Chains A and B, each alone.
Chain A
Amino acid sequence: MILAIVPVLLITLLIGARGVAAMRTTSDFLVASRRISPTVNAAAVSGEYLSAASFLGIAGLVVKDGVGSLWYAVGFAAGYVAMLALVAAPMRRTGALTVPDFAEARLGSPALRRLSAAVVLVIGCLYLVPQFTAAGQVLGVVSGSPYWVGVVIAGAAVSITLALGGMRAATYVQAFQFVLKLALFIVPAIWLVLQVSPDTRREALTPVEFTRFDAATPVQFRLDTTLTLSEPTRVAVGGADAEVLPPGEYDVQAGQTWDFAAGSAVPHVGTGPPGGADWARPLLDPGGYPLLATWSVLVATVLGTMGLPHILIRFHTSPDGRGARRTAAITVALLGVFYLFPAVYGLLGAALLPELYLSGATDTVVVALPARVDGGFAGTLFTALLTAGAFAAFLATSLGLLLAVSGALSHDLVPSTLRRLRFTPIVAALAVVLLALPAARLDVGVLVTSAFAVAASTFCPLLVLGIWWPRLTARGAIVGMVTGLVASAGVIGVDLFLGVPPGLAGILLGQPALWSVPLAFATMVLVSLRGRPPAWASAAMLRLHLDETEPGRR
């Protein structure tokens, strides 16, 4: 299956090299990149944006948590409508590549610049770790390798690609990646829908709760799990002879395989099994407050998109503010096409591979489906295609993020010691690999959402108020961002280390965006109102709204 990934890497490198070569022929690299048309740039933005969370995570969450998980896709795409309305054009006009740059340009505060760089690191890590985790899990499923092998291979692939250079230079790479991902996602989805029996299609649309194994099913547990058997169950543990286990709780170690006999009852784990009435409700419902939970995810994803460091860089390749705006608008349409398809995988996965929810490997449902539908050559082929697509998703996003993170490290945070170090990306990749190794049990989608929550609580108020409100002061921005960071990242840290409490508190702590974003906005506004912006603040804001086609600017 490595064979599927190698071509993706090679073609990516090839187009990267060609793109760089093409740009060298023009006198100035920046001018060259400014000729990128909005459509190509929108494809590039989408290519960089569609991460493992989009490619694998949403479908996996559908299997695990239900149809409501599709709201993630809606939020991911809707972020660009907000981006278009509030950020795209003015941000491009600051000439700022990153949020630290923007903070410097608009508010002139070096302290704020360093704080923003630190926030870039937090967001980058929260976003990168699940990418690596997903790579590890996918490689584990398709090649049977242990989890850590996949993570290390992924880290090595990203570092080497970065070290060979030029990735960021070539918008064409990202644009190609988008087309590739779109094709590798849509074609197998259509094939799957046509290939499965009409009964399966009906089953996918009228889900039945997964209570009994239809056939003898081996379940390889990826995580330490506690199972609850409700009736005597015939099962063979770890290859031993089948025995009948009495009802009760059983601790399963990661890596163990349980072979359940046909017709035996499905044991319970933490969440409900796929196919139930709650599962089919089109709302996210982790703790009994579906509306609040759904809104919170939407607020986080929509507002968080504005602050993603690797996406903001992309808008800089537009020729001007107007181009950036068009790019954002086209991106909404492109993402809309892609996000129609995670539902296909999720629904088919819930019908055909419900046992994934026991083993904790729901993130692998997309790549596991073809083999389940067709055991022959076609199944292998489509597994290979989807693996390649997942790897492309992982690669594009990780590269962009890693560049943003190493930029923040070597440029904004520790300029004197690290600026000249070319291997900052490798150091950063190593750190992320070390973080990803113990993170196997985390959901790709959930961890990415926490990255969005942090971005929404810090960069979103900074950008929105900085662009639209002349009275914002550097002090207000700093206090507001620290408040938002502590509220969102602190709460997520508590969840990760202490566990999420049940009920209403669980939603407010598990998805803090619904209250942490207004809190950050309010803090920023109140602290700014108590201070006085410098005399040039109004000009610094207004010039972001002047279109650059007019002569006599500045």
Chain B
Amino acid sequence: MKQRRRVAVTSPQTRVALARGRTGVRAAPPHLAPADAERARRIHRRQLRYALTVLALLGALLLGLPLLLAGAPALDTVRVAGIPVSWLAVGVLPFPLMALLAGWQLRKAERAERATGSGAQAGHRAVR
């Protein structure tokens, strides 16, 4: 029980590929139990929605900020503590905003998993 064996460390997929390379037979294709598939489908849909929302916000930030700076050169001459506002908009502002965005996405994604998870445990009741 306590005896330790040294094992080669590879990723599961690498092991699958290596096994196939030796035997020439493809590993069994993946399958899901119907209940799991249903739950996964619900999670997938929710997560996709959150992911697209976050990407849209990120895109708005990253594409919109250069647009703003290109459209409003006056920001170069406005200064906060001696630093041009347009420089702050590149060098400082995006980082806290992106950290907030990441935190929000993380909470949403974990909540989606928890919500659908408990829904499945309570006997496949539809969530929402």
B23 at the interface (CB under 8 A from A): no
Give Cα distance in the complex from A507 to B16, angstroms: 43
CB pair A205 B90 closer than 8 Å: no
CB pair A81 B102 closer than 8 Å: yes
Chain B 41-56 residues near chain A, CB threshold 8 A: 41, 43-44, 47-48, 50-51, 54-55
CB pair A85 B105 closer than 8 Å: yes
CB pair B91 A332 closer than 8 Å: no
A78 at the interface (CB under 8 A from B): yes
A546 at the interface (CB under 8 A from B): yes
Give Cα distance in the complex from A343 to B7, angstroms: 47
Task: Look across to chain A and name the residue whose beta carbon is closest to the beta carbon of B51.
Answer: A85
List of B residues within 8 angstroms of A115 by Cβ: none
List of B residues within 8 angstroms of A339 by Cβ: 95
CB pair B41 A542 closer than 8 Å: yes
Task: Look across to chain A and name the residue whose beta carbon is closest to the beta carbon of B42.
Answer: A545
List of A residues within 8 angstroms of B14 by Cβ: 97, 101, 411
List of B residues within 8 angstroms of A80 by Cβ: 102
Give Cα distance in the complex from A438 to B39, angstroms: 55
Task: Look across to chain B and name the residue whose beta carbon is closest to the beta carbon of A298.
Answer: B62
CB pair A281 B30 closer than 8 Å: no
**Shortest distance from the beta carbon of A470 to any chain B beta carbon, whole Å:** 9
**Shortest distance from the beta carbon of A261 to any chain B beta carbon, whole Å:** 33
**How many residue pairs bridge A and B at CB < 8 Å?**
194
List of A residues within 8 angstroms of B9 by Cβ: 28-30
Chain A 68-118 residues near chain B, CB threshold 8 A: 68, 70-71, 73-75, 77-78, 80-82, 84-86, 89, 94-98, 101-102, 104-105, 108, 110, 113
CB pair A294 B29 closer than 8 Å: no
Give Cα distance in the complex from A74 to B105, angstroms: 18
Given contacts A101-B11, A332-B99, A539-B37, contact A85 B32 (CB under 8 A): no
What is the total number of residues of chain B having a CB less than 8 Å from a CB of chain A? 65
Give Cα distance in the complex from A280 to B117, angstroms: 52
Instruction: Select A82's contact among B31, B58, B106, beta carbons within 8 Å.
Output: B58
CB pair B87 A282 closer than 8 Å: yes
Give Cα distance in the complex from A478 to B67, angstroms: 35
Task: Look across to chain A and name the residue whose beta carbon is closest to the beta carbon of B52.
Answer: A85
List of B residues within 8 angstroms of A549 by Cβ: 117
CB pair B70 A322 closer than 8 Å: no
List of B residues within 8 angstroms of A538 by Cβ: 37
CB pair B62 A28 closer than 8 Å: no
Chain A 284-308 residues near chain B, CB threshold 8 A: 290-291, 294-295, 298, 302
Q: Which residues from chain A sit less than 8 Å from chain B, CB to CB?
A: 27-30, 67-68, 70-71, 73-75, 77-78, 80-82, 84-86, 89, 94-98, 101-102, 104-105, 108, 110, 113, 202, 205, 280-283, 290-291, 294-295, 298, 302, 316, 322, 325-326, 328-329, 332-333, 335-337, 339-340, 343, 411, 415, 468, 534-536, 538-543, 545-547, 549-550, 552-554
Beyond A27-B4, A326-B106, A343-B91, 11 extra complex contacts between A and B, CB < 8 Å? A74-B94, A74-B95, A104-B16, A281-B76, A316-B11, A343-B87, A468-B48, A536-B30, A539-B31, A552-B35, A554-B31
